[in-house]
């Protein structure tokens, strides 16, 4: 059996069900790992007592001979915008530091019903409004492969915990790339389901049109397992047949202006796929990029005011949207939210026009998938490896300063607005030891097919070494 911290979700579940490992022993081991690697700042809240109590309860249930769920006794790391009745849900922001929701998020209930244990609540970019995870309220989460680098965001703490072997897997949320970007930068698998496939209830929101929770793990199989638990789909995703598979390569926009090492790694991945019999079809999806640039922000910024305000009122939180904005600790987040609380709010007419154009974006994706006969498209998840912590406004890309936020969300944004599924796979590492991710995105509702394709691609990609964490 692998070392306890190297166990994936399915492996841990099998070991606990068989009695080879107790849930309590695994929980204790992961707590020790988290303490030894506290410098990564992956967690906002971690309760050793609550975790041990839940693990002991799981062990007693197994010994009793009761029926066990597919995740029985497995600790999972949850982004701290997923409501948990037994632990605080801060959203990574000061105004919610004492927030204790009464019910769990619907996603959390599904996981617990399957036997999972909440390991802890993970660090995140404040209110999920960014990609660096440089959180001024709780401190920056750090990339396990290079602690001076960002883990990506906004689900950066979850990605860091999974990559550093502090958790076998976890759940983040994705509005414009917040599962896939940190997965790519931390060298793990991150899956954004089709919007609406996973329930949204009980998640500190940004945009109901664009938000979704999604699994983060060190294998496609574990992401498929969590997707099955939440949606009721089969828990496995047998690899698709690669020979004869058609994948679109959107060279314009998605493959432009990339870090030189990153593009070499991703081109090598394409060649490996071609060698396995995959037909690479060049597709011009610049139309999708143009539409995303026009409508992505009006939708999310309009809905933030109404959706977050509704969440606060529905939970009886004393602070309203304006109060939360005023207390935001991170300068980038505070500036955005305060503008929305005042004269900078998006007019409803602009928002309605953006929603109409969104249907054009969705149709463009459907048309391109249909006309080219492709099962999915493939492209670098991010244009560059992880930036340095503190490069919040700009970072250097091939010797030129680039806007940090806009650059890192560039490739993930269009699919997020369209609501299609996307999955980031580790494609390799730079000479400096920084992970690089490659994404596949498929038609709306093709989630299980996309997971099967990813499972097959995963077998061709080089396995990444574990980061140099402390035992």
d(C-alpha 376, C-alpha 266), whole Å = 16
d(C-alpha 300, C-alpha 287), whole Å = 20
Torsion over CA: 293, 131, 301, 174 (sign): positive
Answer whether 103's CB lies under 8 Å from 317's CB: no
Options 79, 110, 121, 402, the catalytic residue: 79
Omega before residue 154 within 30° of 0, cis = yes
d(C-alpha 276, C-alpha 265), whole Å = 17
d(C-alpha 401, C-alpha 390), whole Å = 14
Strand partners, 388: 149
Query: In 3-state terms, what secondary structure has residue 328?
Result: coil
Alpha-carbon Rg for the chain in angstroms:
21
Length of the chain in residues, anyone?
Answer: 471
Options 47, 110, 154, 424, the catalytic residue: 154
Answer whether 469's CB lies under 8 Å from 204's CB: no
Query: In 3-state terms, what secondary structure has residue 228?
Result: helix
d(C-alpha 287, C-alpha 13), whole Å = 44
Options 47, 110, 155, 178, the catalytic residue: 178
333 Cβ contact partners less than 8 Å away, ≥ 6 residues apart: 93, 125, 126, 127, 129, 130
Torsion over CA: 233, 237, 243, 246 (sign): positive
- Catalytic, 471? Answer no
Burial letters for 91-113: b for 16+ Cβ neighbours within 10 Å, e otherwise?
bbbbbbeebebeebbbbbbbbbe
Output the DSSP codes for 47-87.
-HHHHHHHHHHHHHHHHHT----TTTT-EEEEETTB--SSS
- Catalytic, 207? Answer no
CB atoms < 10 A from the CB of 341, how many? 18
- Catalytic, 79? Answer yes
d(C-alpha 175, C-alpha 47), whole Å = 28
Q: How far is CA 195 from the centre of its chain?
A: 13
Output the DSSP codes for 156-200.
HHHHHHHHTTSSSEEEEEESSSTTHHHHHHHTSEEEEPPTTTS--
Would you please indicate which residues are annotated as catalytic (active-site) residues? 79, 154, 178
């Amino acid at each position: 059996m692998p070392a306890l911290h190297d166990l994936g979700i399915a492996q841990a579940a099998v070991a606990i069900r068989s009695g080879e490992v107790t849930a309590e022993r695994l929980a204790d081991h992961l707590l020790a790992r988290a303490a030894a690697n506290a410098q990564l700042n992956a967690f906002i809240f971690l309760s050793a007592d609550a975790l041990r109590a839940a693990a002991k309860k799981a062990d007693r249930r197994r010994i009793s001979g009761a029926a066990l769920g597919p995740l029985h006794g497995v600790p999972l790391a949850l982004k701290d915008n997923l409501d948990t009745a037994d632990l605080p849900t801060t959203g990574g922001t000061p105004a919610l530091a004492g927030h204790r929701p009464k019910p769990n998020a619907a996603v959390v209930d599904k996981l617990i019903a399957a036997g999972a244990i909440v390991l802890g609540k993970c660090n995140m970019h404040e209110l999920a409004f960014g990609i660096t995870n440089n959180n001024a309220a709780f401190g920056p989460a750090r990339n396990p492969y290079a602690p001076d680098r960002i883990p990506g965001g906004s689900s950066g703490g979850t990605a860091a915990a999974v990559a550093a072997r502090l958790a076998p897997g976890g759940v983040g949320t994705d509005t414009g790339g917040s599962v896939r970007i940190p997965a790519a930068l931390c060298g793990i698998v991150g899956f954004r389901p089709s919007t609406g496939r996973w329930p949204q209830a009980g998640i500190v929101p940004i945009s109901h049109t664009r938000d979704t929770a999604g699994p983060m793990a060190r294998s496609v199989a574990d992401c498929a397992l969590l997707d099955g638990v939440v949606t009721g789909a089969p828990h496995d995703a047998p690899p698709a047949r690669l020979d004869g598979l058609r994948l679109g390569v959107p060279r314009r926009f998605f493959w432009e202006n990339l870090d030189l090492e990153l593009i070499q790694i991703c081109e090598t991945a394409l060649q490996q796929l071609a060698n396995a019999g995959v037909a690479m079809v060049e597709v011009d999806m610049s139309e999708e990029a143009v539409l995303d640039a026009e409508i992505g922000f009006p939708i999310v910024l309009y809905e933030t005011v109404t959706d977050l305000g509704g969440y606060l009122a529905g939970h009886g939180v004393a602070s309203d949207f304006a109060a939360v904005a005023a207390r935001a600790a991170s300068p980038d987040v505070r500036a955005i939210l305060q503008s929305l609380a005042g004269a900078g709010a998006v007019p409803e007419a602009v928002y309605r026009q953006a929603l109409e154009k969104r249907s054009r974006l969705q149709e463009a994706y459907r048309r391109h998938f249909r006309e080219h006969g492709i099962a999915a498209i493939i492209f670098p998840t991010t244009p560059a490896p992880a930036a340095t912590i503190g490069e919040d406004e700009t970072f250097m890309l091939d010797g030129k300063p680039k806007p940090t936020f806009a650059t890192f969300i560039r490739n993930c944004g269009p699919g997020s607005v369209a609501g299609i599924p996307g999955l980031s796979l580790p494609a390799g590492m730079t000479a400096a030891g920084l992970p690089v991710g490659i994404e596949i995105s498929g038609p709306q509702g093709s989630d299980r097919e996309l997971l099967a394709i990813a499972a097959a691609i995963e077998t061709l990609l080089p396995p990444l070494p574990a980061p140099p964490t402390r035992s």
